[in-house]
Amino acid sequence: MITLLAGGTGSVKIARGLSKISEDLAIISNIADNLWLYGLYVCPDIDTITYGLANILDKERGWGIAGDSFMFLEQMKTLGQENWFRIGDRDLALHLVRTNLLKEGKSLSSITEWIRKSLSISTVILPSSDSHIETRIETTQGDMHIQEYWVKNHAEPEIKGIRYDGIKEANANTKAVELIRNSDLIVIAPGNPISSIGPIISLPSIRKELESRKRDVVAISPIIGNSALSGPASKYMEAMGIESSPYGVALHYEDIASNLIISEFDAEYEKKIHSLGIKTHKTNIVMQNVEDEIQLCNYIINKFNSA
């Protein structure tokens, strides 16, 4: 059994690849980029993984449904509403259903389970917590929700700090903790270490379980050289005082992972990473097509899940 810790756009390729190879895969999904919009509860990372596994994801954008239209959003603009966060017409259905079920008192995890079954997804998708946790970016232009920083403000304001509001009060999903305890292999997706994986591994019971399973935890670097494979990972890492490099990634996961998969071009970082007690494994980590996804996933399974 394999458990994957995942964000959204940076994690969906490995999620899709592993789901094709392993019938016994479960995904623990980040929830700290969730937001309330127009009275709807939107869960971008859960939805990106859901659409990716249902084969309806817009692969070019990395979020939303392929071929979706945005007429609802145009009408919202006509009605004087902000429209910087692009909810598609078909995507809207999921947010409506989820919000209604939440209002009926259902938990986010039971709703996510119901949705993935409705879309005939065999891989289990588990929110890391049923509580609301929110990544806030403190900038020179004020304190804002991560989506406001990334989508509305195009990651332009200077970052002063990043925090996860609600993390202290939140309980980790007990099923997620059990999954980590019982899996043969735990994979950390090449998602953003601060905004995607950070809020999952900062939940104390998940962190504790990962620490005790460290030997079976393998992380995939989202950084090659000093650059992120996608999104603002470098920016957030530097803002948190973490070097943007495979070594910085290793430092961030030092307590919870014993293996790090890095690019074949990053041999220069190996010695420093080994000094942390983390083994390195070099292969192609750029997934440009389905073949690349399968290649990386086969590499992981053959190397770490042969037991």
Check binding of 130 to ligand FO1 (CB under 6 A): no
Dist. CA 22–CA 26, nearest whole Å? 10
Dist. CA 5–CA 7, nearest whole Å? 7
Q: What is the amino acid identity at position 33?
A: D
Please identify which residue in 87, 186, 229, 250 interacts with ligand FO1, judged by CB under 6 A. 87
Please identify which residue in 52, 64, 193, 232 interacts with ligand FO1, judged by CB under 6 A. 64
CA 173 to chain centre: 16
Please identify which residue in 85, 124, 138, 301 interacts with ligand FO1, judged by CB under 6 A. 85
Question: Which residues, including other chains, have CB under 8 Å from residue 154's CB and lie 6 or more apart?
Answer: none
Sole window of 4-12, 96-104, 179-187, 295-303 interacting with ligand FO1 (rule: CB under 6 A): 4-12
Dist. CA 21–CA 1, nearest whole Å? 12
Q: What is the amino acid identity at position 210?
A: L
Sole window of 43-51, 174-182, 198-206, 248-256 interacting with ligand FO1 (rule: CB under 6 A): 43-51
Dist. CA 193–CA 237, nearest whole Å? 8
Q: Which lies closer to ligand FO1 via its Cβ, residue 144 or residue 151?
A: 151
Check binding of 190 to ligand FO1 (CB under 6 A): no
Q: Alpha helices, DSSP H only, in 164-203?
A: 174-182, 198-201
Reduced DSSP (H G I as helix, E B as strand, rest coil) percent helix, strand, coil of the chain, to 5 = 40, 20, 40
Check binding of 151 to ligand FO1 (CB under 6 A): yes
To the nearest whole angstrom, how small is the minimum distance from the Cβ of residue 153 to ligand FO1?
A: 11
Sole window of 40-48, 117-125, 170-178, 200-208 interacting with ligand FO1 (rule: CB under 6 A): 40-48
Please identify which residue in 139, 196, 244, 263 interacts with ligand FO1, judged by CB under 6 A. 196
Residues that bind ligand FO1 (CB under 6 A): 7-9, 33, 44-45, 47-48, 63-64, 85-87, 91, 147, 150-151, 196
